[in-house]
Amino acid sequence: MQSKTVIKRLSELPTMPCTIDTMAWNQTGDWRYLTPLVENKPAPCHSNCPAGIPIPDYLSAVKRGNLQEGLALLLSHNPLPGLTGRLCYHPCQTKCCRKKIDGAISIQEIERFMAGLATEIKNRRTRPSDERVAVIGSGPVGLSCAFYLGCLGFQVTVLDARDRAGGALADLPSKKVEAQVLEAEIKRVVHIADINIETSASFDLSKPREMLSKADLVILDPTGLMEETGMPVGAVSFNPFVDEEICGDIIAVTLSGNLKPFKAPMIAHYIAAGRLTAEKAFAYLVRRSDKEGLKKRRPHLSRLAAKVDDILMGHFSTSGLAADAKSGQEGTWDHDRALQEAGRCLSCGTCNLCLQCVLSCPDASIRLDSDKNAVEVDLYHCKGCGICAYECPRGVITMEEINA
Q: Where are the alpha helices (DSSP H) in 173-220?
A: 179-193, 208-214
Task: Check whether the bond before 261 is cis (ω within 30° of 0).
Answer: yes
188 binds other proteins (CB under 8 A): no
26 binds other proteins (CB under 8 A): yes
Closest to other proteins by CB, 26 vs 68, is 26
Closest to other proteins by CB, 28 vs 123, is 28
Closest approach of other proteins to the CB of residue 377, in Å: 11
3 binds other proteins (CB under 8 A): no
Residues 257-316 interacting with other proteins (rule: CB under 8 A)? 314
Q: Which of 233, 247, 359, 402 binds other proteins (CB under 8 A)?
A: 359
Closest to other proteins by CB, 60 vs 356, is 356
Burial 62-99 (b: 16+ CB within 10 A, else e): bbeeebebbbebbbbbbbbbbbbbbbbbbbbbebbbbe
Which x/- pattern, by CB under 8 A, does the window 4-23 give for other proteins?
xx-x--x--xxxxxxxxxxx
The type of residue at 109 is E
The answer to whether 169 touches 82, Cβ cutoff 8 Å, is no
Q: What is the distance of C-alpha 319 from the center of its chain? A: 27
Taking the C-alpha atoms of residue 322 and residue 341, their distance in angstroms, rounded to an integer, is: 9
355 binds other proteins (CB under 8 A): yes
402 binds other proteins (CB under 8 A): no
Cα–Cα–Cα angle for 7, 13, 16, rounded to 5 degrees:
140
340 binds other proteins (CB under 8 A): no
- DSSP run (H or E) holding 270: helix 267-289
Closest approach of other proteins to the CB of residue 29, in Å: 9
25 binds other proteins (CB under 8 A): yes
Q: Phi/psi at 238 (nearest 5 deg)?
A: -145, 115
Closest to other proteins by CB, 20 vs 231, is 20
CA-atom Rg of the chain in angstroms: 26
* 155-159 sheet: strands from edge to edge: 196-198, 155-159, 132-136, 217-220, 250-253, 236-238
Residues 204-233 interacting with other proteins (rule: CB under 8 A)? none
Q: Which of 30, 31, 196, 247 binds other proteins (CB under 8 A)?
A: 31
364 binds other proteins (CB under 8 A): yes
Q: Which of 24, 179, 231, 247 binds other proteins (CB under 8 A)?
A: 24
Interface residue list for other proteins (CB under 8 A): 4-5, 7, 10, 13-28, 31-32, 314, 355, 358-360, 362-365, 367-370, 378, 381, 383-387, 389-391, 399
